[in-house]
Amino acid sequence: MAISNTKTILVDLGGTFMDYECGKLNKKQCFTQLASEYHVEVAELETTIANLRQTITYDKEMTSTFKKIKELGARIFLVSNISKEDYAAFQNLWDTDFWSIFDGVFTSSALSTTGAVPHLTFFVDGRPDNVLSALSFGIKGTFDTSGLYRTLTNFIGDPIERGLAFLRQQGGKFPTSTQYGETMEENMVLLLMLEVLDDKSLVNIDVPPRYWNFFIGTHQFTTPVFPPDLDIMTLSLCIRPPDMKTIHSILDEMRDCVDEDG
C-alpha cells in the first residue's frame, strides 16, 4: 500500500489493541471498538490492516544467522505479543523456511513454558526497553542485530574451544598488522604463542642455528640490517632452547652487552 493512499493514522498505545493481542477481545470486537473510538468504518479499518499485513516480511539475513546458531545445538523460540488471528495470517504469509527455525512459538511471553533457565537464555528484540525487561530477569540479550551471529556464538560457544579453532584455521601463520593495514611476519608472536599454549602444531616456525631475529624474512619499517635483540633471544632460549653449550655461549655474549647504564 503506497503511503500516499494513507488517510488515517491510528495510535493505540495499549487499550483496545492490547486487549486484542492478549486475547481478551476477538478480531470483530477489537475492530468494532476501534472504529467507534476513532470514527472510521470497520470495513475500512479491516482493509487497511490487511493491506499493511501483506507488506510485512522477515529479515532473511537474521533467519540465516538463527539457522547457523541452531546447528550448534541451541534451541530457538519466537515470542511475540501478536494476536492469534494475526499469527495465523503470518503462518500462511511466510514460508516454512522461516517457521522451521523455531522450536516453539509463543504469542504471549511465557518463559516458563520453554523450560529455559534465565542465565542460560539470550533474548533478541529490536526495542531496547523490551531487552531491558529481559535483563531484569537475569536473561542476557541485545537489541543490536548487527553482528548477531558473533554475539550469539560468543554466548553459546566455549570460548577456549572457539579460540583454539580460530588459531588452527590460520595454518600456522600469524602476521602482524599496522593501523594502516600493512602486514609483516615476525617471530616474537610465534614464540609467545608457544610459551602460552605449548602446542607446536599451531605455528610454523623455523629454528635458526644460533641467533633469532624479530622479523621473518625481509625487514620492514626499519634499517636494512636489523640485528638480533636481547628480548627475542631471551624468549627463544626459554621456548626453543638449543644445546647447553650453545645456551651458555649466547648468555656470555648477552653478558657482554651489559654496561653501567644497564
For residue range 246-256, list pLDDT tens digits in order. 999 999 999 98
pLDDT at 100: 92
Question: Which residues does 261 contact at the CB level (< 8 Å), separation at least 6?
Answer: none
Residues 48 and 73 in one domain: no
CB 124 within 8 Å of CB 148: yes
Residues 51 and 73 in one domain: no
Does 262 map to a domain? no
Query: In which band, very low, low, confident or very high, does the pLDDT at 9 lie, cut at 50, 70 and 90?
Result: very low
Backbone angles phi, psi at 178, to 5 degrees: -90, 175
Is the Cα torsion angle 230, 234, 240, 241 positive or negative in sign? positive
Residues 251 and 165 in one domain: yes
pLDDT at 1: 33
Does 261 map to a domain? no
Final residue of a structural domain among 109, 132, 156: 156
Residues 90 and 117 in one domain: yes
Q: Which domain holds residue 48?
A: 7-55
For residue range 85-122, list pLDDT tens digits in order. 788 888 888 888 899 999 988 876 565 677 778 888 99
How many structural domains is the chain composed of? 3
Does 114 map to a domain? yes
Residues 67 and 39 in one domain: no
Does 2 map to a domain? no
Residues 86 and 144 in one domain: yes
Residues 114 and 139 in one domain: yes
CA angle 181, 186, 190 (to 5 degrees): 115
15 compared with 16, residue with greater pLDDT: 16
